[in-house]
Amino acid sequence: MEQPRRKSIYDQPSGTIELEERPVTALQRNVGVARQHLQSFYAQTVQASNKTVDSLLSAENQLAKEAKAIRAPNEPLTPHLLYVGIAALTGSILTRNRNILLRLTIPPLFLFGSASYLLPATTQNLVNRVSELEHRHAPGFARSQDAAFGQARQSLGWAQSRIEKTASDAKKRIEYGSQKAEELSGLKFTSALDKTEARLEQYKDRAIAKGKEIKRDAEAKEVQIKSL
C-alpha cells in the first residue's frame, strides 16, 4: 500500500515571472500632471494660510504690547473711556446744525480735552507714541509740526511777557489813581486795592505756572523726539 505524500511547509516554486512594459497613455500622463499641480497648490495654500495666521498673531501681540506701554498703570480705563466717548458725542450733538468746520473740529477737541483731563498720563503717552511714529515714517510732516510747536511756544512766551507787562502797568496806574483819589476824597482805597492786588497776583501766578508747565512739557517732548 502506497504511503500518502506529506505536504511541504514551503510553497512550491512558481514559474518565472516576466514583466511586460506597457506604454503610458495620454490620459494617465494628464492625470499625473493634474495631481502634481493639485498637490503643489494645496501645499502653497497651507503655507500661505500659516503665514497669514502667524502675521495676525504677531500683529495682535504687538498691538497688545503697544497698548500696555501706552496705558498708565495708575489710571483706570473704566469708566473714564466711557466719559471720553460721551464727551465726543456731546461735541457732535452740539454742532450737528452748525457749519462743516465746527462739525469737524469741535468733536475731536472735546475728545482730546476730556481724555487729557480724565486720562492725562495715558493721553501724553499716546501723543508721544504718535509723534515717534511720525518722525519715523513721515519725517517731513513731523518737522513741519515741530516748527509749528516751536512757533506756538514762542507766541506763548511773548503772550506771557505781554501779560506780565500789562499787569505791571495796570498796577502802577491803579496805585497812582488810588493815591490821587485818597488825596481828593480822604477815603482809604488801600485795603481794597491790596485785596484785589492779592487776588490778581494769585491769578497771575497760576497763569505763569500753567504757562511754564506747558512750556516744560513741550521742551521735554522736543528732547525726547530728538533723541529718537
The domain segmentation of the chain, as residue ranges, is 45-139
Helix, strand, coil percentages in the chain from 3-state DSSP, rounded to 5: 80, 0, 20
Q: Using CA atoms, how far apart are residues 199 and 192, in angstroms rounded to an integer?
A: 11
Q: Using CA atoms, how far apart are residues 109 and 80, in angstroms rounded to an integer?
A: 17
Q: Using CA atoms, how far apart are residues 166 and 110, in angstroms rounded to an integer?
A: 32
Evaluated on CA atoms 196, 197, 201, 204, the torsion sign reads positive
Instruction: Centre a 10 Å sphere on the Cβ of residue 150 and count the other Cβ atoms it contains.
Output: 12
Write out pLDDT tens, residues 47-95.
999 999 999 999 999 888 888 888 888 888 888 889 888 888 988 888 8
**Cell numbers representing residue 144 in the block:** 513741519
**Cell numbers representing residue 76 in the block:** 483706570
Q: Which amino acid is at 177?
A: G
Q: What is the mean pLDDT of residues 2-8?
A: 59
Return phi, psi of residue 5, to 5°.
-80, 130
Q: What is the mean pLDDT of residues 98-121?
A: 85
- Say which residue, 207 or 76, is predicted with more confidence: 76
What's the chain's length in residues?
228
**Cell numbers representing residue 182 in the block:** 485818597
Write out pLDDT tens, residues 181-206.
666 665 555 555 566 666 667 766 77
Instruction: Give one word for 186, left, alpha or beta, with left for phi > 0 and alpha for psi -120 to 50.
Output: left
Whether this model's pTM surpasses 0.85: no
